[in-house]
Amino acid sequence: MNAVQVDWSYDELLESHPVEEPLFAGGVRCHGGFDSDGNYVSPRTKNRWPAIRAWQEQRAAQFGTPLLDIALDTWPGAYPSVAQAKFLLRSGVPDPIIARLTQIGTVEGFGSMIRYSQIPDLQRCFDEPVQGTGMWHLGRGLYEAHARDEAGYKGEGGHKQMWFAARDIAFEHPLTEDQTQTMMDRMFAYGGGPGSGSSSLEPFFPDVDYDLEFLIWSMARLLLIEISAFHIFAWAEEVLADTDLVAGDGEAAHMVSYIRADEAPHVEYLKTTLSEMRDRTFVASSGARVPGTEVIGRIWERARAESVGTRHESNVRLVRGEIEHALESRPNGKDLLAEFDNLAA
Ligand SMILES: [Fe+2]
Ligand SMILES: [Fe+2]
């Protein structure tokens, strides 16, 4: 008899560990906190981690297939690189780095949208039972926990506020609200706007429930963003830990490490739910059966190609635009840009 608990309530999945000391970032109460040994504890993980592990074990035992995954080196490293970012800071041009941190925080805030995802009746969409799986819990706490982690909840800051706090600690409150808005308008004009990028409006599988295909597209894209973001975390931690170049005695880098820790359950539940779908048989509206390997395989492959292709390029363009904007008003701007480009690995 399998004693591992796979059914969890909404409230259980949102439950946090008690913490000894809450996390404050730039005077704002944020989620998570520290245990009695001073270790950071991610929010809403008291049951979410054991649940994800249980669904993973259950899936491996049932299907014996590997978990869907993709290597971090699928994507090039961060742009600008650590060396290029430090060069800008040393040259007295912090604005592109400030803009980058603001952009990351803003995009994290969009994560709250996930709670509005349309989730169809999943059991109707699959041949095999789905109760007690990760996918069964998407609308039963997993998406809500994810939304709260990214955008904060009630009086508690989430990643959006934590990135802004990291920026404000490192650069000593560099922006007013108006400046932030102007910067974001400019950046998203270069990049084509949040959520832009090529995407087929035509469903790949017209016979499969449209909401389900849409849900899979969003999960695949989100997982690719979550995994590739580890390059950004490594970059930000290294740049913000340089106490010669930024303020705050390394506190901003610590803040980024807390955010990074919170991302791990996002990556794991998304990998798990996509794998659960891949291992099952889709029931199309005509009653036809479509192997999950085909549905998930085709969507994942296209989303992966977009992520390393058009999406990556549009992000580099957006960041590049900010760097050129900051340098163009400087008398030695052209020389600095040439030196910056020479530092590209
Ligand atoms: Fe996040
Ligand atoms: Fe995340």
Specify the 3-state DSSP secondary structure of 281. Answer: strand
- pLDDT category of residue 174 using cuts at 50, 70 and 90: confident
Which pLDDT band holds residue 198 (cuts at 50, 70, 90)?
A: very low
Q: Give the pLDDT band (50/70/90) at residue 1.
A: very low
Q: How far does the centroid of ligand 2 lie from the alpha carbon of residue 71, in Å?
A: 17
Widest pairwise Cα distance in the chain: 74
- Tell how far the Cα of 265 is from the centroid of ligand 1, in angstroms: 10
Mean pLDDT of all residues in the chain? 93
State residue 191's pLDDT score: 52
Task: Note the pLDDT tens digit of each residue in 148-162.
Answer: 999 999 999 999 999
DSSP for 153-194, please give it: BTTBB-HHHHHHHHHHHHHTS---HHHHHHHHHHHHHHHTST
**Contact status, residue 207 vs residue 285, Cβ threshold 8 Å:** yes
Distance in Å, CA 337 to ligand 1 centroid: 31
**Mean pLDDT on 259-281:** 98
| Burial degree of 3 (CB within 10 A; 0-12, 13-18, 19+) | exposed
Distance 150 CA to ligand 2 centre (A): 6
Residue 323 C-alpha to ligand 1 middle, in angstroms? Answer: 24
- pTM of this prediction? 0.93
C-alpha of residue 259 to centroid of ligand 1, in Å? 6
Distance CA 79, CA 85 (A): 9
- The closest ligand to the CA of 224 turns out to be 2
Res 256: pLDDT: 97
CB-based contact 62:279 (threshold 8 Å): yes
Ligand number, closest to the Cα atom of 263 = 2
How is residue 315 written in tokens? 């992000």
Amino acid 2: pLDDT: 55
Output the CA 88–ligand 1 centroid distance in Å. 26
CA of 152 to the centre of ligand 2 (A): 12
Percent of the chain with pLDDT over 70: 95
Q: For residue 83, report the distance from its CA to the centre of ligand 2, in Å.
A: 26
Domain positions in the chain are 65-342
DSSP state of 70: -
How does residue 194 score in pLDDT terms, banded at 50, 70 and 90? very low
**CA 105 to ligand 1 centroid distance, Å:** 8
| pLDDT given at position 62 | 97
- Ligand 2 geometric centre to CA of 202 (Å): 27
Q: Give residue 37 CA to ligand 1 midpoint distance, Å.
A: 25
- Residue among 83, 81, 85, 110 nearest 99 (CA): 85
* The pLDDT value given to residue 186: 78
Q: In whole angstroms, give the CA distance from residue 112 to residue 107.
A: 10
- Is the confidence at residue 3, as pLDDT, over 80? no
Q: Which of 158, 160, 148, 153 is nearest to 106 (CA)?
A: 160
Neighbours of ion ligand 1 (CB under 5 A): 108, 150, 159
Higher-scoring residue by pLDDT: 176, 223: 223
Q: Is 56 helix (H, G, I), strand (E, B) or coil?
A: helix
Q: Which ligand is nearest to the CA of 109?
A: 1
Interval between CA 168 and ligand 2 midpoint (Å): 21
